[in-house]
Structure 1
Amino acid sequence: MKNQQLFSNRVAILATMHQKEIVIAPLLEQLGIKVIVPPDLNTDIFGTFTREIKRVGTQIEAARLKAEKALALTGETLAIASEGTFCPYPSLPYISSNREIVILLDKENELEIIGEEFSLETNHNFQLIQNIEEAYKFATKVGFPEHGLIVISDSPKDSGEIFKGIITDKQLEEAVYFALKNSPNKKVHIETDMRGMYNPTRMKNIEKATRNLLKKINSFCPSCGIPGFEITQRIKGLPCASCYTPTLLTRAVKYQCQKCGFSQEESFPDGKYADPRECMYCNP
């Protein structure tokens, strides 16, 4: 069974209100899928970056809920949704990272396939400012006006007015002056607008996650032929090329089919030996 047979000439509902179809739809159309964005689907009910609405569940759960809502709204059987998170990089806490997932939910074939991208390529940032000069300095640093901004009175925990989608000098100045005027401590919270249509850097990561989704769709189970035969476990212990001591790098990966349960192990996916620089004995 090939992916073209599963998805060709089918309609997929893309659960977005932030123009993600710009990068997602052209890739899905390679599978013969017609992508439709419903005009009356509010994905903000599952969480907003500006924190008015807390995200529902985990990143994957929120994406799945978006897809299920799209199916319930339209009566179709195939849906796509994405969800992004931004957090400090584990080993570099002062640098932000971006994890994007794109989920394909196929009720007709009982399939769920998830593409993902983890990247340090993000302009995610925020700052408290006290004047318009500081606002412009921050804006320049994060790629304004190609990347949009958000301005909030006081701090993100307060209930002041939120100005989103700021992409012109006039909008920025009006928002900052208004927020400063109405801020009790004369401080304004400014941050990057991480919604897709206001953040081309994030859009590139969504595109990469979609490409990863296509790669998984084109990975077929050797036993039943269903797409989505993907890595479910990474086994550490790749030996050092110098002393042969096991390192923390991947020695083998395990693939498993979500449909029939067939699994297969592949040894040395990244080579048979690790660079001695990765060895705790050769490079303590």
Structure 2
Amino acid sequence: MSRVFARRTATIATMHGKERVIAPILEQAFGIQSILPQNFNTDAFGTFTREIQRMGTQIAAARHKAEAALELTGETLAIASEGSFAPHPAFSAIACNREILLLLDRANDLEIIGEAFSTDTNFSHQSVRSWQEAEKFALQVGFPAHALVAIGSDRKIVKGITTLEVLREVVEQSLHDFPNEPLHLETDMRAHYNPTRMLNIEKATWNLLEKMQSLCPQCDAPGYAIAEYKPGLRCRICGIPTKLTRAVIYQCQKCNFGRELLFPDGLETADPQYCSFCNP
């Protein structure tokens, strides 16, 4: 195992409690001590409630957070995360959560990205016109363990709602002030208010750790990981290439050494159900 990260200090770029799942994993593996940047406002890089748009792509936003955290602390190692929620690319009725965890190491000129993609999320929203509708929605999305956000017709936003009393007060006040307009409710996707999302951040941390421990066969640099997926696994019946992965390309970001690995999933042919000819 590389000693590049051993017993270093890492600043975790968060104000939403993500260090609770990130720090113990890194400390156990490398003896990394974690700190938090003081007065660090991650909302400046984008909010789930859309007052502030995210800065570029998901990876770019995480990189901006990590860079800002390093500037504040003067450290050389930072960890930042960024989550996104959207319909599943293949099954649009199902919501999914993609978590990115980016490690930025200025001392060794390294950037390593861990990720987790999961359909285990309570990401949801609904417009309600009564307390009964609001209560039903809340219970469906795991309230009160998972908090809610209310957005009124006047665009007033109330975040971090975790009790029925507060929720009812917000709902009834909004419906009283705007009797002809619904109140928009949505799940609070900030990590410290969403235990399900926190578990996905933990999964992304384990993926990051795996890549931190993966060393280049040529130069021994950490972060030797899959850089490209190649489709084309052939159908078991007709032999036509499918969209399933046939090979992956591992690549080192330091020396650019690369290697192709065939059949990474342990399958040399594809089930006909994935074939556009056998199962059009």
* TM-score computed with the length of structure 2 as normaliser: 0.96
Counterpart of 2:17 in structure 1 is 19
Counterpart of 2:141 in structure 1 is 142
- Spell out the pairing of 1:52-67 with structure 2 (5 A cutoff): 52-67=51-66
Counterpart of 1:188 in structure 2 is 183
Counterpart of 1:264 in structure 2 is 259
Counterpart of 1:281 in structure 2 is 277
What CA distance in whole angstroms lies between the structure 1 residues aligned with 2:40 and 2:157?
22
Deviations 1:201-229 (A, max 9, x none): 11111111111111111111000000111
Does residue 217 (structure 1) correspond to residue 212 (structure 2)? The answer is: yes
Aligned residue identity for 1:261: N
Which 10-residue stretch deviates more, 181-190 or 76-85?
181-190
Counterpart of 1:124 in structure 2 is 123
What CA distance in whole angstroms lies between the structure 2 residues aligned with 1:189 and 1:282?
46
What CA distance in whole angstroms lies between the structure 2 residues aligned with 1:180 and 1:62?
36
Q: Measure how far apart 1:13 and its partner are.
A: 0.2
What CA distance in whole angstroms lies between the structure 2 residues aligned with 1:116 and 1:65?
17
Counterpart of 2:78 in structure 1 is 79
- For structure 2, the 5+ residue unaligned runs are none
What CA distance in whole angstroms lies between the structure 1 residues aligned with 2:131 and 2:121?
24
Which 10-residue stretch deviates more, 30-39 or 225-234?
30-39
Give the conservation status (yes or no) of the 8 Å contact 1:46–1:53. yes
Deviations 1:44-86 (A, max 9, x none): 1001111111111111111001000100001000000000011
Deviations 1:71-130 (A, max 9, x none): 000100000000001111122222211110000000000000000111111110111101
Counterpart of 2:193 in structure 1 is 198
- For structure 1, the 5+ residue unaligned runs are none
Identity value in percent: 57
Counterpart of 1:235 in structure 2 is 230
What CA distance in whole angstroms lies between the structure 2 residues aligned with 1:196 and 1:50?
13
Deviations 1:142-184 (A, max 9, x none): 0101100011102xxxx53211111111111111122223336
What CA distance in whole angstroms lies between the structure 1 residues aligned with 2:184 and 2:128?
6
What CA distance in whole angstroms lies between the structure 1 residues aligned with 2:170 and 2:141?
17
Aligned residue identity for 2:98: R
What is the SS of the residue equivalent to 2:25?
Answer: helix
* TM-score computed with the length of structure 1 as normaliser: 0.95
Q: How many residues align?
A: 278
Which 10-residue stretch deviates more, 217-226 or 180-189?
180-189
Counterpart of 1:248 in structure 2 is 243
